[in-house]
Structure 1
Amino acid sequence: MTDAFLALMDWHLVMLLVAGTGLGIVIGAIPGLTATMLIALTLPLTFHMEPVAAITLLIGEYVGGISGGLITAILLRMPGTPSSIVTTFDGYPMAQSGRAERAIALGIMASVAGGLVSWAFLAGMSPALAHFALQFGPWEYFMLVLMALLMLAALTQGSLVKGLLAAALGMAFALPGVDNSVGRARLTFDTDFLLSGFGLLPVLIGAFAISQILRDAAAPPMPNMPVPKGRLPVQAGDLRTHGPNMLRSSLIGTWIGLLPGIGGNIAALVSYTTAKQMSREPEKFGTGHEAGVVAGETANNAAIGGALIPLITMGIPGSVTEAILIGALTIHQLQPGPLLFQNSPEIAYGIIAAYLLANVVMLVLMWGAVRWIAQLVRLPRAGLMGVILIFCVTGSYAVNSSFADVWVMIGFGLVGLGLEAARVPLGPFVIGFVLAPIAEEQLRASLMLADGNWLDVLHRPWALLFLALALVTLIWPPYAARMARRRART
C-alpha cells in the first residue's frame, strides 16, 4: 500500500489525477452529462498509457463526476448526476433562502467524509476478500455472476421484468462472434464484421453518450444559474453537529455500494430516509434542513468506495461505471478479481491509493474553484454537445481504425434511446453485455471439469449459497409486492 502511494507521487500521475478529478467535477455539474459518459469517452485516450496512469485518470473522473453533481442540484434543483437527486430536497430550499454557500460547503464536506470512510473499508476489506475469493472455482464464479445479474435486475428502478429483459438483451448482444470453446463462428449471419463481435467501447459510448446527445437535442435551454459569490462558510462545530449523520450515512452508502446495480442514488435515498427517521426534527427535512444535504451527499460518495470492493476483489461491477472500469483493465490485459492482488499488486493497490487521493484533490478543487466551475454551466448547450459528438466518433473509430465501429456506436445509441423511452433500465443492459462472456466462460469450465454433470454444483457450498441468494433476489420483489397489496386490502 505504501509503495502505491509513493508511486502516485510521480508528477505526471498527480497531474493526471488532478485533470481527471477536475474534468469530472465540471462534467458532473452539467445536468445530463454523467461520470459514466465521461469515462466512456476518455477510455480510448488510455490505450497507450501505462495501466497505473490510465486507472488514476479514470478514478479521478469517477470521484469528481459524482461530487460535481451537487452544484446544480443545490443552485438549480437540477441534479448534475442521478446520485445528486436527493441533494435537491434540502439543498435547493437552502439556496432559495440565501444559504447557497452554506449548502455547497456542507455538500463538499459530506462528500469528502463519505469518500474517506468508504476508502477505509476499501483498503481494509479488499485484500482479505481477494484472498478468500482465491478459494473459488468456476462454479462459484458462475453463480456469483448470476447472482449479480439477478440482483441488478431486481434492485434497479423499474419493474423486475424490465430489469431481467434488459440484462438478457445485453447478454444476447454479447453472443455474436467466435465461440472460443469450440473455435466456430456463431450468430455472425455470414458477415466478417461480426466475427469479432460488438466492441465494448462502441457499445458503451453509444448506449450512454449518443443516446444522451439525442435526448438533449430536444431538451429546453438551461436556465441562468445564480453563482455563489461569498466564501464557503464552515463552522467549528460542524463536525460535532453532523459527524454522527456522516458516519451513519457513510456506512449505509458503503454497504449499498457493495450490492451490484443499486448505485449512489439509492444509497442517498436510503441514507436520507434513515436520517429523517432518526432525527428529532423530521418535519424540517425537505424545507432546507442541513442534515438532509449531509445525508445524501455522504452516502452517494461512499457508494463509490463500496462499489470498488467487489470490482477489484471478484471482478464483479457494482454499477455501470465499474463495468467500464473493468473494460479499461481488460484493454490493458488485466483481469480484475482475486488474482489482481497477486499478479498486478501495483494496479490493485494503485486503485485504492488513487481513490483516497482523488477525494483530497476533489476537496481542494471544489473548495477553491466552485464559483468558476458553476459559471461553466452557462456554456452554449449546442456547442458542448457538438464537441462531445466529435469525441464519440473519434473514440469509437480509434479502437480498430474502422468506421464499422462508428456505425455500431450509432446503432447502440438508438438502442439506448429506445430502451429509455420504454423505461427499460440501461444499467442491466450494459452490465449484462459485460458479464455475459465471463458467465459463459465459467459455466463451460465448470461443466468440462464435471464431465457435463450439472449436479456437481451440489458439492460446492459457496456456489449453492450464491445460487440461493440469486433465487431469493428473484422471488422476493414480487412476493413483497403481493404482501403489500394484501395488507392494503385488509
Structure 2
Amino acid sequence: MDLPALFGAIGHIFAPWTFFMLFLGTALGIVVGAIPGLSGAMLIALTLPLTFYMDPFDAVVLLIAMYVGAISGGLITATLMRMPGTPASVMTTLDGYPMARSGQPGRALGLGITASFVGGLVSWMVLLTITQPLSILATRFGPFEYFTLIMMAMVLIASVSEGSLVKGLIAGLLGMLVSMPGVDPSSGMPRLTFGFYQLNGGLQLLPVLIGTFAVSQVIKDCMDRGGVPERQELKSSKVLMSLRDLRRNAGNMIRSSFIGTWIGILPGIGASIGSVVAYTVAKNMSDTPEKFGHGSEEGIIASEAANNATVGGALIPLIAMGIPGSVIDAILIGALTIHSIQPGPTLFLTNNDIVWGMIAAALLANILMFVLMTSSVRYISGLIYLPKSFVLPIVMMFCVIGSYALNNTMFDVWVMLVFGVIGFLMERASIPLGPFVIGFVLAPLGEEKLRSGLMMTAGDFSPIVTRPFPLAFTLMAIALLVWPIISERRRKAKARASEEG
C-alpha cells in the first residue's frame, strides 16, 4: 500500500478543475441513475468521446465518479416509484416502495443512501488493500494463465447472467463472433471484412457499446406507450440514519458490503447479482423474514450496500489483471486504451499516478455522492417526469455525435444503429447484453494470449493441464458450466418427487 501516492492523488483531485470533474461526474451519474431507462453504462459510453482530448487523470476521475453516482442514483426512483433507475436497484423496489407508500419515503431513502455509502467505503478499503498484491501475483501469469482465466470469466458471466445458461452462452459467443472482423493478429491478413475496408481495423468498441445499450433503449422506450406514473411526494426531509439505526443494522450492512465486493471481483457479474445474493442472505438470516417484500428495512439496506460495494470490487480485476469486472468496467478499459494506458499487472509500474487516481476518485466520489443525495434527493426525484418526447431525441443526438466523433466517419454511426437494433432484438428474445459485451471485449485478448502461448510451445496445449493456475482455472470453468445444469436437474427431480408424494 503506497500511502504517499494515495495522498498525492487525493491532493491532485482537490485541484479546482479536477474536483469539478469529480463533482460533475458524480452529479450526472446520480441524475442518470435516477431516470428509468438510462444507465451508467450509457452515460459513460456517451461521455467517452468527450475525454479524447482531456488529461488522462481528469478523464479517469470523471468516469469513475459517474460509475459511483449511477449505481447509487437508481435507488431514488426504485423507492419512490417502484421503477428501478438501474438494474442494480431492482431488489430495492421490493421493500423501498412499500415503505414509501406507507408514508415513510424519507426513511426509506435515508436507509438506502446510508447503506450505499457504507457499501462503497467497505469495497474501497478492499480495493486499497488487495489490488497491488494481486497485480504482483498477476505479473507471474503467462499466456496460458491469462487465456484460461479469460475462459473462466466468460463461462462465469454466462452461468450467472440473467436468463438461462444457454442464452448467456449464446450472448457471449455472439460477442466473440462480432470481435473477429479485422486483421488477424498472427498473419496480418484481413479476415471477415466482407469487402468493407472500414472493417480492416475491426469493429470499434464505442459504437458497439453505444448501439447496444443506448440506441436499443431508445427503441424500447419509443415502443413503450405506458403512462406517467403517479407522483409520490416526499413528506419528510429527514433522510439520515440515526446512531441507533446504524448500530442495529451494522451487521447487515457490513455483511452485505463484503458480499457485494466479492461478487464485484468476479469478472462480469455486476451489481444486480450482488444485490440479489445479499438480499437473499439477509432474508435467510433475519429474525423477521416475513417483513421482506413488505417494507423491510433490512431488505433495503442489504440491496443498496451490496450493489454499491460491487463498484470497488469490480475495479480490482480491472486494475490488477486488465479483466473487466462489469460492463461499465469494459467501457473503462476502452477509456484507458484511448489514452494509451494498458490496464493489467504492469499498470502500477507504467502509470502509477493513474492507478492511485482511480482509487482516490472511488473514495471521494462515494463521499460526494452521500452529500449530494442527502441534500438534493427531493429535487432529483422530479426528473422522472420529463417527457420522453424531450429526453429521447437528446439522447439519440449524443449517440450519433459520440459515434461520429470517434473516427469522423459515418460508418461508425451505421455500426451504432445496427447494434442498436441487434441489442433491442436480443432483449426481446431475453438474451442478456452483459455477456455479449464482455465477450466482445475479452475475445481479442483471449485469442492473443492463446496464440502467444502456442507459439511459445510450438502448438502444444499441454501447459493448460500441466501448470497449476491454468489447470485450476480450467477446472473452475468446467464446474461453473456443469453446476447450473446439475442444480436444475436436481430441482426438477425434487419437484417431481414432491408431486408424486
- For 2:264 and 2:196, locate their aligned partners in 1 and report how far apart those are by CA, in whole Å: 41
Give the TM-score taking structure 2 as reference length.
0.96
Secondary structure in structure 1 of the residue aligned to 2:260: helix
Are 1:389 and 2:389 matched, yes or no? no
Secondary structure in structure 2 of the residue aligned to 1:48: coil
Are 1:126 and 2:131 matched, yes or no? yes
> What is the correspondence of 1:58-97 to structure 2 with a 5 Å cutoff?
58-97=63-102
Deviations 1:389-445 (A, max 9, x none): 010000000000000100000000011011111111101111100111101110110
Secondary structure in structure 2 of the residue aligned to 1:420: helix
TM-superposed CA distance for 1:262, in Å, is 2.1
TM-superposed CA distance for 1:487, in Å, is 2.3
Deviations 1:128-174 (A, max 9, x none): 10011111011101111111011101110111111111111111111
Match of 2:308 among 295, 301, 305: 301
> What is the correspondence of 1:178-197 to structure 2 with a 5 Å cutoff?
178-197=183-202
* 8 Å CA contact 1:221, 1:381 repeated in 2: no
Q: Look up the match of 1:9.
A: 14
Identity, in percent, stands at 54
Secondary structure in structure 1 of the residue aligned to 2:110: helix
Name which of structure 1's ranges 190-199 and 14-23 shifts more when overlaid on structure 2. 190-199
- For 1:408 and 1:275, locate their aligned partners in 2 and report how far apart those are by CA, in whole Å: 44
Q: Look up the match of 2:282.
A: 275
Deviations 1:294-344 (A, max 9, x none): 111111101111111111111111111111111111111111111111111
- For 2:231 and 2:48, locate their aligned partners in 1 and report how far apart those are by CA, in whole Å: 31
- For 1:102 and 1:464, locate their aligned partners in 2 and report how far apart those are by CA, in whole Å: 50
* 8 Å CA contact 1:24, 1:62 repeated in 2: yes
> What is the correspondence of 1:426-445 to structure 2 with a 5 Å cutoff?
426-445=433-452
Secondary structure in structure 2 of the residue aligned to 1:217: helix
Q: Look up the match of 1:39.
A: 44
> What is the correspondence of 1:75-474 to structure 2 with a 5 Å cutoff?
75-219=80-224, 220-233=226-239, 234-474=241-481
TM-superposed CA distance for 1:489, in Å, is 2.5
* 8 Å CA contact 2:103, 2:235 repeated in 1: no
Match of 2:55 among 27, 50, 73: 50
- For 1:429 and 1:182, locate their aligned partners in 2 and report how far apart those are by CA, in whole Å: 26
Q: Look up the match of 2:3.
A: none
Amino acid corresponding to residue 410 of structure 1 in structure 2:
L
Pair 1:293–1:184, CA change in 2 (3 A) = same
- For 1:458 and 1:266, locate their aligned partners in 2 and report how far apart those are by CA, in whole Å: 31
* 8 Å CA contact 1:90, 1:287 repeated in 2: yes
Secondary structure in structure 2 of the residue aligned to 1:70: helix
* 8 Å CA contact 2:105, 2:236 repeated in 1: no
Amino acid corresponding to residue 208 of structure 1 in structure 2:
F
* 8 Å CA contact 2:148, 2:464 repeated in 1: no
Deviations 1:159-206 (A, max 9, x none): 111111111111111111111321111111222121111111000000
- For 2:235 and 2:43, locate their aligned partners in 1 and report how far apart those are by CA, in whole Å: 28
TM-superposed CA distance for 1:347, in Å, is 1.1
Across the aligned residues of Structure 1 and Structure 2, the Cα RMSD in angstroms comes to: 1.1
* 8 Å CA contact 2:214, 2:420 repeated in 1: yes
Q: Which runs of 5+ in 1 are unaligned?
A: none
Name which of structure 1's ranges 192-201 and 357-366 shifts more when overlaid on structure 2. 192-201
* 8 Å CA contact 1:69, 1:81 repeated in 2: yes
Q: Look up the match of 2:28.
A: 23
* 8 Å CA contact 1:224, 1:378 repeated in 2: no
* 8 Å CA contact 2:330, 2:438 repeated in 1: yes
TM-superposed CA distance for 1:261, in Å, is 2.5
* 8 Å CA contact 1:155, 1:261 repeated in 2: no
Match of 1:488 among 489, 495, 498: 495
- For 1:347 and 1:229, locate their aligned partners in 2 and report how far apart those are by CA, in whole Å: 44
Amino acid corresponding to residue 165 of structure 2 in structure 1:
L
Secondary structure in structure 2 of the residue aligned to 1:260: coil
TM-superposed CA distance for 1:479, in Å, is 1.2
Secondary structure in structure 2 of the residue aligned to 1:79: coil
Give the TM-score taking structure 1 as reference length.
0.98
Q: Which runs of 5+ in 2 are unaligned?
A: 1-5
TM-superposed CA distance for 1:92, in Å, is 0.6
TM-superposed CA distance for 1:229, in Å, is 4.7
